[in-house]
Amino acid sequence: MNRRHFLTGALAAAAAPKRPMNVLFVVSDDLTSTALGCYGHPLVQSPHIDSLSRNGVRFERAYCQYALCAPSRASFLTGLRPDVTRVLTNGPDFREFHPNHVTMPQLFKNNGYQSIREGKMFHMGVPGTVGTAQWQDAASWTHNGSPQGKEHNSAGETRNLTPHIAPGVGMRTVRTPDASEQADFDAANRAIAHLEKHRNDPFFLGLGFVRPHVPFVAPGEFFDRYPLSKIRLARNPADDLNDIPALVARTLGATAGNMKMNEDQQMEALRGYYAAISFMDAQLGRVLAALDGLGLRDNTLVVFQGDHGWHLGEHTFWQKRSLMEESAKVPLIVSAPGTKGRGQVSRSLVELVDVYPTLADLCGLTPPSNLAGQSLRPVLDNPKRTHRNAARTQLNAGKTEGRAVRTADFRYIHWRTPEETAEELYDHRKDPHEFTNVAGDPRYAKELARHRALIAEPRGA
């Protein structure tokens, strides 16, 4: 090549428009950060999530805005807090209240992206509405896909550990020989097909895995990774619940008291949960391998997150729907090409409403002006930065309303009904597992007043 041709080629390359950044947005259902290898679990095998963590920023203190599926997902996909979306149970569609709001995937769709859904993005009843498009907001997607799965009707050995509790809540395991019957396997296949089809198009691919949500369905090989002899139950002090307000028990219902499971049944439930995580992780691995094989990783922003946390026997609680750390904290990993903090860990407080403005910022798009969150881009370049001074989570149970605020060293929870109020305050410097409620301790009066003021801040902010 002569000098003239070289200069012509270089000028043409410089003048070529920059290719838009793709997005792979992955949400796992009912996944607690405490049960992932990269977050420090000594037994759970999650190699592909762990690998993503090494190529991105792992957020140690990320919090959902509502400890239940539909309200949390409506919040982070709209970028609005639950008080604004008005989705406070697993039922309403946010469009009833915000018919014209532009959601996260819709923003990309409106800007020329292929906006693709495969699996659970907005609320989906598991196992009841798996494989349907109910609640999935057609306006948000150019492709609105619903992977199929047989759930607890899958072939294989089924164990119902809590027969007194409904299938969508109770602990049921299914050791199946056939991965192909599962929605997450189908979702990964579909996602790979979309990557192949749209490798030359800008895409926002929303990939929603239903595992590890109950029932815990996975091929036998994943159960075999977790011999019961290696599983350890949560250990709670005998007096752990003595200082928790009485009305809290009314919000938990059947998910407290270890759901009436004995220790052997609890270990079976943990094995099922771990197996479901590893199965889901394997499906994520297939999608990430395809992303690499197609040469798309260097131009694709990958986010992996949960929708809320999950109890695994801590405080004798199982499931979500509490305002304690295990239920409010979520896994969040952001792998963004070109950012400087990849491979590092952030301990700053962040909220899931921050994800929408982050993706818009990194992709050069202008989101709606009323979003509640703030872009995490500065933290992705410098994970030592402080992003928030407080993270908020809320919960409603009948006439009981709970609101929690997590600060650097404390968790404060305020409960109220038409007849009564109650408080919890936990000092994470001394009590990271929240065993001792110090709300009534006069030595914490100043911190209690400070956290009361944080709870009282405008609810849409």
Q: What residues are annotated to the active site?
A: 69, 123
The two tokens of residue 4 are 């003239």
215: preceding bond cis by omega (within 30 degrees): yes
Q: Of all helices (H) and strands (E), which one includes residue 82?
A: helix 82-85
> What DSSP designation does 112 have?
T
Sheet holding 391-397, edge to edge: 391-397, 400-406, 410-416, 421-427
Q: Of all helices (H) and strands (E), which one includes residue 194?
A: helix 183-197
Report the C-alpha gap between 388 and 367 in whole angstroms: 20
Q: Of all helices (H) and strands (E), which one includes residue 395?
A: strand 391-397
DSSP result, 414-436: EEE-SS-EEEEEEETTT-TT---
Contact of 174 with 216, CB cutoff 8 Å: yes
Nearest to 203 by CA among 117, 289, 136, 131: 117
Residues 6+ apart with CB under 8 A from 455: 403, 405, 412, 414
> What DSSP designation does 404 have?
E
Residue type, 81: R
Q: What is the largest CA-CA distance in the chain?
A: 85
Report the C-alpha gap between 390 and 375 in whole angstroms: 15
Report the C-alpha gap between 319 and 255 in whole angstroms: 6
Nearest to 110 by CA among 355, 316, 360, 293: 360
Measure Cα distances from 6 to 1, 17, 145 in Å: 6, 19, 46
> What DSSP designation does 240 have?
G
Contact of 341 with 358, CB cutoff 8 Å: no
Residues 6+ apart with CB under 8 A from 240: 315, 316, 435
Report the C-alpha gap between 127 and 216 in whole angstroms: 11
